[in-house]
Structure 1
Amino acid sequence: MDPSEPTSFNHRALKLSTGHTYHFVDQLPADYESATTTNLVLIHGFPDFWYGWRYQIKPLVDRGYRVIVPDMLGYGGTDKPVDPVEYSYSKLSNDLVALLDALDIPKAVFIGHDWGSLTAQRVVLFHPDRVLALAILAVAYWPPSRVYVPLEEFVKQEPSWGYMLYFASDQSTKDIDSNPRRFFDTVYRTPGSQDTSIVKGGGMQAAITGEASKEGREHLFNEQVMAYYLENFKSMHGPLNYYRTTKYRYEEEKDLPVSPPPDLPVLFIGGSKDPTSLPSLVDHAKSYVPQLESEMFDDSHWLMIGESKDAVTERIATWLEQI
C-alpha cells in the first residue's frame, strides 16, 4: 500500500442490491478475523475519489482495522447516473449499507470528509443499527431541516458556501469539463495560497474559466497525482449532481431524527484555514451532538493530504482505540 502507487492497493468492484456497481479499495489487516476485526468505511467528498484517503489507509490497516474506501456514486470506477435524484442521501446511504451487506459486515465505523462527512451523518440517521461510530472531517454535523430551505437562501445564511450555487448550475459542468486542470489547480490549494473570495459569488467560475488571476496559487498535487485525478474525472456531471439534490434531500429527511443516537461516539476534525470548518458551525453541531469531540488543525480543507495528514491519521486512530 504505497500512496504514490494507486495500483498497490486492493481494488474490487461489486454490483450491489440497489442496482449500482461500486468500485472500492478493500484492505484487510494481517490478523483479520471476520468476527472480531473492526471495519472502517472511509467516504470521500467533492471533488475526490478513493485516492483522497491514500495516506490514511495503510496506517489504519497496520493498526488492525479493515479499511474499505469506495468511489462514491458518480466518481471513479463507480456507476455515474445522470439524474440528480440518484444522489440523495437516502440513496447513497442505502448503497453504503448494501456494500456492507455484500461484504457480510453487520456494523462499521463511518469516516467521512466534505460531502462524505454529510453522507456518513445520514447513514447514521437512516441506518443507525449499522454504525459503530462516526468521524467527520471538514464539515461538522448538520441536522435535517424541518422546513425546506432553497439553496439560494442557505447561501445567504452561510456565504462561505456560496460556490454551491455555481456547482448546482448546469454551466458548472460545461466550465469544469472544459478546464479540468485549472479546476483542480483551483480547488486543491495549499493553505497559504487560498483565496476566500473564490468560494463566494462568482469567484469559483472566474477561477475555473480563467477570468481570475492564478498568481500566487500553489496546489497540493504533483504532476503524477494530477494525472491520476484527471484520468479518473472524465466528466464532472456525476460529482456535481450532489449539489443538485437540495429538494430531494429535504423530502427524504424531513421526518428523520435531528440528532444521532446519544451513545454514538462522534469525532469532528477540521482545519482552522478552512471556511467550511468555522467555529460557529462546530458550535452549531454541538448543540445537536452533545457528545461530539472536536479538534482543529492548522490546515486547509484538504487536511488528509496536507501538512496535517499524519496528525489526522493519528487522531482518528487514537479515537478508535477509545470507542
Structure 2
Amino acid sequence: MDLCEHKSVITRRGFTLSYYVSKPNNAGPTLLLQHGFPDDARLWDGIVKHLSLYHLIIPDLLGYSDTSKPTDPTAYNYVDHTGDIVEILDAENVNKVVSVGHDFGAIIAQRLYIHHPHRVEGLILLSLGYVLPSASPPNLEKANAQFEAAFGYPAFAYHEFLLSDDAPALLRANVDRFYYAMHGAPRDWMKQIWCTRGAMSKWLRDRDWQVELRSYAQDPALRRTFEERFQRDGFEGPLCYYKAMYSSMQYDTTKDLDKDRFVVRVPTCHVTCTQDPICRPELSIAAKNGGFLPDLEEHTVDSGHWIPLEKPEGVAKLMDSFLQRRFLA
C-alpha cells in the first residue's frame, strides 16, 4: 500500500471509515477495491502495485481494522453500508467508480450498484459472482439443503458456526488456527473445513490436527499482522455481516424494488477460482439465465478462494485487460 495515502472520513452515521487512496489519474477510471471476510484493505497489497496507472480507493470496510466496528447487526444493512462508501467517494470528489470486490466485498460491490447505480460504471467480482437479491427472507437450513442437492455438500456449513454464540470468543482465542483454516494447502481443504458441519469448530479446538499452508500464506508478516489484528479487534464486528444476512434486514432493503433495478447495465467481469467450493460460478446462473447480466465476461483461475493473495499478478492482468478494453479503448 506504499503507493497510497491513508485517510479517514466520519460518516453521517457517526462511523469512522478508514481508507487508502492513490493519486488521481484522469486517464482512466477510479477503482474501488472492497475486501471480504475476514480481511481488510491490505488484502489488495499484491494487486495495487500492478494497477498503479489507475486511481485507487481501498476502504477498510465496516467492522474491520481502522474503521468503526459496531456490534449491532442493523448497522451493516446494505443501504446504509453502501451509503457510507458513497461518502468516501464524495470526500474524494469521485463521481463514478468501477466497483471491485472479493468474497463479501463482492456483495458490497454489487449492492453499491443496486442502491447507487449512478455512482458505478463497471463491476469486477472476484470469487463470488453476481447474486440476485433473495425473493424471500433467507433461511440457512434451506440454503444448505439446496447446496447438498446441487453440489453434494452444504457449502454454507461454516455459517452455522459463525452464527453461534461462542464463535467470536473461539475465533479470537484460536486466531492462529483460523489462519490455517483459511489458507490450508490441500486442494480440498476449504471444502473439508468450511463446507462440513462441525468441522470449523473441531479444527479450532483440536491442536493435534495439523495442515501445511499455501505458499503465499507462509509469509510471516502476513500471518503476524492477521493474528495481531484480530487479537486486538476481535470478531464481533465482522460476524455481524452474517447475522445481518440471516435476519430480514437485507431482504427488506430490496424487497420493494422493481426487478429492473437488478439488471446490471454496466460492463461486468467475474473471476472465479477452481479451488473455491463456496463461491461457485453456479451461484450466478439465475442472474445470467434471467437476463440480469447482459454485459458479462467470465474468467477462471486455478486458485483457492483468496485469489488476491494467491494470484495477485494474474488477477491484476485480467483486471487491467478488462479495464483497457472497456474503459480506455
Aligned to 1:52: 43
Please give the per-residue CA displacement for 1:167-212, whole angstroms capped at 9, x wherever unaligned.
Answer: 1222111110111111112112335362412122111111122267
Aligned to 2:151: none
* Counterpart check, 1:301 vs 2:310: no
Aligned to 1:192: 187
Instruction: Determine which of 221, 229, 233 is the counterpart of 1:232.
Output: 229
Please give the per-residue CA displacement for 1:61-80, whole angstroms capped at 9, x wherever unaligned.
Answer: 2x2x1111100000000000
Aligned to 2:79: 90
Q: Secondary structure at the match of 1:104?
A: coil
Aligned to 2:165: 170
Q: TM-score under structure 2 normalisation?
A: 0.88
Q: Secondary structure at the match of 1:268?
A: strand
Q: What letter matches 1:95 in structure 2?
A: D
Whole-angstrom distance in 2 between the partners of 1:102 and 1:206 = 45
Aligned to 2:199: 203
Aligned to 2:219: 222
- Structure 1 residues 286 and 230, CA gap change in structure 2 (3 angstroms): same
Aligned length: 311
Instruction: Determine which of 6, 10, 13 is the counterpart of 1:11.
Output: 6
Please give the per-residue CA displacement for 1:280-320, whole angstroms capped at 9, x wherever unaligned.
Answer: 224334223232211110111011111x2211110011101
Contact 1:84/1:241 (8 A) holds in 2: yes
Runs of 4+, deviation exceeding 6 Å: none
Whole-angstrom distance in 2 between the partners of 1:257 and 1:116 = 24
Aligned to 1:273: 275
- Say what the alpha-carbon RMSD is for the aligned residues: 2.0
Q: Secondary structure at the match of 1:293?
A: strand
Aligned to 2:31: 40
Contact 1:194/1:217 (8 A) holds in 2: no
Contact 1:206/1:212 (8 A) holds in 2: no
Aligned to 1:251: 252
Aligned to 1:21: 16
- Structure 1 residues 18 and 101, CA gap change in structure 2 (3 angstroms): farther
- Structure 1 residues 255 and 149, CA gap change in structure 2 (3 angstroms): same
Please give the per-residue CA displacement for 1:224-243, whole angstroms capped at 9, x wherever unaligned.
Answer: 11111122222011011111
Whole-angstrom distance in 2 between the partners of 1:40 and 1:46 = 20
| Bigger mean CA offset, 224-233 vs 125-134 | 224-233
Contact 2:37/2:104 (8 A) holds in 1: yes
Contact 1:191/1:299 (8 A) holds in 2: no
Unmatched 5+ stretches in structure 2: 148-153
Q: What letter matches 2:295 in structure 1?
A: Q
* Counterpart check, 1:289 vs 2:293: yes
Contact 2:69/2:237 (8 A) holds in 1: yes
Task: After TM superposition, list the pairs within 5 Å mapping 1:61-140 onto structure 2.
Answer: 61=52, 63=53, 65-140=54-129
| Bigger mean CA offset, 217-226 vs 227-236 | 217-226
- Structure 1 residues 195 and 265, CA gap change in structure 2 (3 angstroms): closer
The alpha-carbon deviation at position 95 of structure 1 amounts to 0.9
Unmatched 5+ stretches in structure 1: 3-7
- Structure 1 residues 195 and 15, CA gap change in structure 2 (3 angstroms): closer
Please give the per-residue CA displacement for 1:139-187, whole angstroms capped at 9, x wherever unaligned.
Answer: 1111111211322222222311211121122211111011111111211
